[in-house]
């Protein structure tokens, strides 16, 4: 039985190692993992590495070349307390990808990650994300040019393949190894699966057995027990958690508690109330784009498991200002906590 790894290292031949401890990673999620959410996760504890939302390489390069404040630049905004942090890029033009990676390095990111996993149709149709799993020579060209362009560690995240008949995870591991990457992360589903069905963890084990690189396992980690079981069953060097963290920002801390004591605490309604208020306050302070929209989005996540949570979500969805949303949250939890 494999012990849960306490740390791993992202190695670069040009700039040395970036230690990641603990061996847990917040997955990049479009529309979710902005600087506010990442800092919220980091404050809960036991998350070793943060990642940005996946960001268009063309958008990054365009924003710099035109010297304009561009929405893409907001995706790459981060605070000092987020280190270590990796910027995740997507695209299919090796030259543009390399230039975007250099920009990310100049902005102070500890590592750059390339996305070969996004299953969204509009990304795949541009030969980005998991669309590149059908063009492995281009994958190699992208990784080679990006690796040559930057000094910080380079990693990539990919799905197991296009579908069950076109599995390429072993080849992706070999290409990554040949091009000097520091680690690979695999979501153990195919592009055809999307987020449906079950993640096939044996693929992670097979990838780990076929490469010398650190392997980060991703897919269907919903509890601390799942995280430990993934390591035991696959031998992966770290675990990456995405959607679970949206509704349970305490998941990383719970993993730490579970490893230390064999048990872990569940968030109370008071804790959910306080984390909603904290997140909303951080959004206002950050002057995020579409603050009210973000509040409504995360109210759905954070009220998961809250008694009468539907009532709160309906009340919030009708509001148009941050102040009104916060008032609705205060009113709801004041009533619910008294009733409890």
> How far, in Å, CA of 185 to CA of 88, rounded?
12
> How far, in Å, CA of 314 to CA of 2, rounded?
46
Q: Is 236 a catalytic residue?
A: no
Distance in Å from the first CA to the final CA of the chain? 43
**Structure tokens given for 204:** 């992670």
Which entry of 118, 126, 156, 236 is annotated as an active-site residue? Answer: 118
Other CB atoms within 10 A of residue 141 CB = 18
Q: What angle do helix axes 35-44 and 269-286 make, rounded to 10 degrees?
A: 140
Using alpha carbons, list the distances in angstroms from residue 187 to 85, 98, 105, 218: 19, 24, 25, 5
Of 112, 226, 251, the closest CA to residue 179 belongs to 112
**b vs e for 22-36, b when ≥16 Cβ sit within 10 Å of the residue's Cβ?**
bbbbbbbbbebbbbb
Using alpha carbons, list the distances in angstroms from residue 337 to 149, 231, 277, 307: 55, 38, 15, 10
Q: Looking at the chain, list the stretches that DSSP marks H as alpha helix, in order from N- to C-terminal side.
A: 35-44, 57-65, 71-75, 94-106, 121-124, 136-149, 169-178, 201-210, 224-234, 243-247, 251-261, 269-286, 291-302, 309-317, 322-339
> How far, in Å, CA of 299 to CA of 261, rounded?
31
24 DSSP β-pair partners: 239
Catalytic residues, by residue number, are: 118
């Amino acid at each position: 039985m494999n012990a849960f790894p306490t740390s791993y290292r992202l190695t670069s031949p040009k700039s040395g190692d970036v230690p990641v401890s603990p061996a847990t990673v917040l997955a990049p999620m479009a529309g979710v993992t902005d600087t506010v959410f990442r800092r919220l996760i980091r404050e809960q504890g036991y998350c070793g590495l943060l990642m940005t939302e996946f960001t268009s390489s063309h958008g990054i390069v365009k924003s710099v070349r035109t010297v304009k404040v561009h929405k893409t630049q907001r995706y790459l905004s981060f605070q000092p307390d987020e280190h270590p942090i990796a910027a995740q890029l997507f695209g299919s033009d090796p030259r543009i990808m390399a230039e975007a990676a250099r920009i990310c390095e100049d902005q102070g990111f500890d590592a750059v990650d390339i996305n070969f996993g996004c299953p969204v149709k509009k990304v795949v149709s541009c030969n980005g994300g998991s669309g590149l799993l059908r063009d492995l020579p281009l994958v190699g060209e992208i990784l080679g040019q990006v690796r040559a362009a930057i000094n910080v560690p380079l990693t990539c995240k990919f799905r197991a393949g296009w579908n069950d008949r076109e599995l390429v995870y072993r080849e992706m591991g070999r290409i990554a190894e040949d091009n000097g990457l520091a680690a690979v992360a695999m979501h153990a589903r195919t592009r055809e699966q999307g987020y449906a069905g079950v993640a096939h963890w044996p693929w992670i084990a097979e990838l780990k057995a076929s490469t010398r690189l650190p392997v980060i396992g991703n897919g269907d980690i919903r509890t601390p027990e799942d995280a430990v079981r993934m390591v035991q069953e696959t031998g992966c060097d770290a675990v990456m958690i995405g959607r679970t963290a949206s509704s349970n920002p305490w998941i990383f801390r719970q993993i730490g508690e579970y490893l230390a004591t064999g048990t872990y605490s569940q968030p109370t309604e008071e804790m959910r109330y306080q984390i909603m208020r904290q997140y909303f306050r951080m959004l206002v302070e950050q002057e995020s784009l579409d603050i009210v929209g973000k509040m409504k989005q995360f109210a759905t996540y954070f009220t998961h498991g809250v008694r009468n949570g539907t009532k709160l979500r309906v009340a919030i969805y009708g509001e148009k200002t941050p102040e009104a949303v916060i008032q609705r949250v205060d009113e709801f939890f004041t009533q619910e906590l008294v009733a409890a």
